[in-house]
Amino acid sequence: MQQGQMAAMSKEMQRCVEACMACHTMCEQAMSSTLQMGGGQAEMQIMRALMDCTELTRICADMMMRRSPLMAEMCAMCARACEMCAEACMSMPNDPQMARCAESCRKCAEMCRSMAGAAA
């Protein structure tokens, strides 16, 4: 992202884009960790949540950066995916990677809910 684009964005939107990208990265790392564990039914449910969250956070950040007219709806959907992912990650409370992922997802969900309300 170019510096001029970030300067033109509101601080709130900039923080939301950063939260989305941080969450995207954290979910990617958690997916890699989950794949290494092998897969039972519980791991597959976690993988689906991680995949949804990874894709939606990336798309949401892209839409905010280009000021898409669909940004508010995408932020709301992204918040929902992040909340679901945080819940899925917390089903493995003893895994520090999953705990960090859940924390990142919760932060992103909060920022996206705020953006969805502000852009509506």
Asked whether the beta carbons of 57 and 23 are under 8 A apart, the reply is yes
Sketch out the chain's domains with CATH numbers.
11-32+41-119 (1.20.1270.360)
Rg (CA), the chain: 14
12 CB contacts (<8 Å, ≥6 apart)? 111, 114, 115, 118
Task: Give me the pLDDT at residue 64, please.
Answer: 95
What is this structure's pTM?
0.86
Query: In Å, how far from its chain's centre is CA 43?
Result: 19
Averaged pLDDT, groups of 10, the chain, 120 residues long: 54 95 96 80 87 97 95 97 97 91 98 84
Task: Give me the pLDDT at residue 43, please.
Answer: 82
